[in-house]
Amino acid sequence: MIHHKVNQPQSTKIPRTIEQRRSLPHNSKNAQKSVVNDVYARLFSSAVDATIILTAGLQIQYVNSAAKSLFNFSAEEGKGKFFKDYLPAQSLHKFTAAIKKSRQDATQARLEIDVINGYRQRIAIALTILPMIEHKKVSGFCLTLHDIGQEQQIEELLRESQKMEAMQYFVAGTTKELQHPLLAILKRIESIESKYKDRSFEYVSYKEFNNIMTFLGLIRKQIKACYDTTTKLTSANKKRLKFESNHCQVNEVIREIIRIKGKSFKNTNIKFRARLSEKLPLLALGHIEINQILSHIIDNSFYAMPGGGVLTVTTQSDPVAHKIQIDISDDGVGISPEDLPHIFEPFFTTKQRVADKSAGLGLSIVYSLVKAGNGQIKVKSSLRKGTKVQLIFPVVEPSK
């Protein structure tokens, strides 16, 4: 055992450890406390976070300067008091449970609670509880308190900012989505007014009547486009998706889509290839929903190949994972790396807008339907090479 000489000069090392307090005379309790506080002061006085040392009975034995500032303690205030006196009821329950576990397992604990300072203000803190072991028993606890109140305020402001940004984006997107058909309606009505407002007649020729009816038909399409947009906005809310049916045979749905869209492909240089695995189990999503998902994706592939190309749909099952995989690929213009992360956002589109067509909601609805059906969707794309969309859905579990 190394004995320190009395006249040994002080060094930057701590001259006495907590264990060495037992070498002091038993009748010198004040001296023992002095040694302990000296050790704590050297360890924690310059710590940025508040540090509080508790006895095994949870009385405050030492507070560093950061803790004094946090709790508005004076030099000696707080010592001898119980830490629980500075905790509101809910925080006291969490703290008591954490202390109990830390005492039993001799392990550190981390939790977030509120404390009450000298001004009776509640402060949110991240608390770390470290048990102090002496002779294989917990002799006290070292508490580290980090003020997270300001961080929480910043996070709350950030969340509010994100909400406002999302709302502004939604309003701007909705406005832009509806402006195109409404502008077309306005222009066509103005055209009819300017053409016929100064005429006084009872008879309208067939040509003029046909012209008016054509305009009315176009206006009807514009109004329907506006209505469809509002319907899609409602449907895009995942919480409002209610499926009438909960299963379908996906190959039949794909064949139906090919028959319906076959006319559109006839006058183009686009070839449709279907590689459908036979004897697939039932897919755990309704016929209408999977039809809408696949139709949107196939339409996007169609528009991505204005000069022609090959559109391939493949199905296969994974009997181990109880999943069905659907791959839809094209060799169209592709999606840029900058645009790819945004393709499922409402109103985002890389297609040029047309006055009588709504755009920018298709993939957002697809994403909502896929997620509501407990499915997965992945998109890989390269400019001038094409795009591949992978869909994975659960199958209907066979009844036991």
Whether residue 117 is contained in a domain is answered as yes
What CATH number is attached to the domain comprising 49? 3.30.450.20
249 lies in the same domain as 226: no
Statement to judge: residues 175 and 117 lie in one domain: no
Q: Is residue 123 part of a domain?
A: yes
- pTM here is 0.46
Domain boundary at 235, 259, 276, which?
235
Q: At residue 6, what is the residue type?
A: V
Residues 282 and 351 in one domain: yes
Which letter, b or e, does each residue of 160-196 get, where b requires 16 or more Cβ atoms within 10 Å of its Cβ? Answer: eeeeeeeeeeeeebeeebbebbbebbeebeeeeeeee
Which pLDDT tens digit goes with each residue over 68-120? Answer: 888 887 656 667 788 998 999 889 999 999 999 999 998 999 999 999 887 78
Whether 129 shows a pLDDT value over 90: the answer reads yes
Average of per-residue pLDDT across 181-205: 75
Please check whether residue 104 lies inside any domain of the structure. yes
Give the integer Cα–Cα distance in Å for 387 and 380: 6
User: How many C-beta atoms lie closer than 10 Å to residue 226's C-beta?
Assistant: 17
Q: What is the pLDDT of residue 191?
A: 80
Residues in contact with 301: Cβ distance below 8 Å, sequence separation at least 6, in sequence order: 311, 328, 329, 330, 332, 387
Please check whether residues 359 and 266 belong to one and the same domain: yes
Q: Domain check: are 212 and 166 in the same one?
A: yes
Torsion of CA 145, 150, 155, 161, to 10 degrees: 180
pLDDT at residue 9 is higher than 70? no
11-15, 33-37, 293-297, 386-390: least confidently modelled range: 11-15
The parent domain of residue 195 ranges over 154-235
Residue 353: pLDDT band (50, 70, 90) is very low
DSSP secondary structure of 176-194: HHHHHHHHHHHHHHHHHHH
Residue 330 has pLDDT above 90, yes or no: yes
Residues 249 and 181 both lie in one domain? no
| pLDDT recorded at residue 12 | 33
- Does residue 31 form part of some domain? no
pLDDT at position 2: 41
Can you tell me the mean pLDDT for 344-370?
65
SS3 of residue 113 by DSSP = strand
Higher pLDDT, 230 or 187: 187
Q: Which of 33-37, 252-256, 259-263, 330-334 has the lowest mean pLDDT?
A: 33-37
The pLDDT of residue 28 is above 60:
no
d(CA 120, CA 319): 62
pLDDT digits (tens, 9 = 90+) for 364-388: 778 888 888 889 999 999 999 999 9
**CATH code of residue 266:** 3.30.565.10
Report long-range pairs for 164-172 (Cβ below 8 Å, ≥24 apart). Answer: 169/347, 170/346
Domain-located, residue 379 = yes
Looking at residue 33, its pLDDT comes to 52
CA distance linking residue 374 with residue 392, whole number of Å = 9
In-domain check, residue 22: no
Instruction: Classify residue 40: in a domain, yes or no.
Output: no
Per-residue pLDDT at 397 exceeds 70 = yes
Q: Per-residue pLDDT averaged across 289-315, rounded?
A: 91
At residue 162, the pLDDT reads: 65
Rounded to the nearest angstrom, the gap between the alpha carbon of residue 231 and the centroid of all alpha carbons in its chain is: 25
Verify that 382 and 269 share a domain, yes or no: yes
Number of domains in the chain: 3
Asked whether residue 209 carries a pLDDT value surpassing 90, the answer given is: no
Answer whether residue 355 shows pLDDT above 60.
no
Q: 312 and 382 share a domain?
A: yes
- What's residue 265's pLDDT? 77
pLDDT for position 316: 96
Residue 214 lies in a domain: yes
End residue of a domain, out of 196, 216, 235: 235
**Bigger pLDDT: 230 vs 153:** 153
What local confidence, expressed as pLDDT, does residue 54 receive?
Answer: 92
Residues 248 and 347 in one domain: yes
- Are 324 and 281 in contact by the 8 Å Cβ rule? The answer is yes
What was the pLDDT predicted at 324?
96
Q: In one letter, which amino acid is 110?
A: R
Residues 346 and 267 in one domain: yes
Same domain, 208 and 272: no
Across the range 132-146, mean pLDDT stands at: 90
Task: Give the pLDDT band of residue 17 (cuts 50, 70, 90).
Answer: very low
| Mean pLDDT over each residue of the chain, to the nearest integer | 78
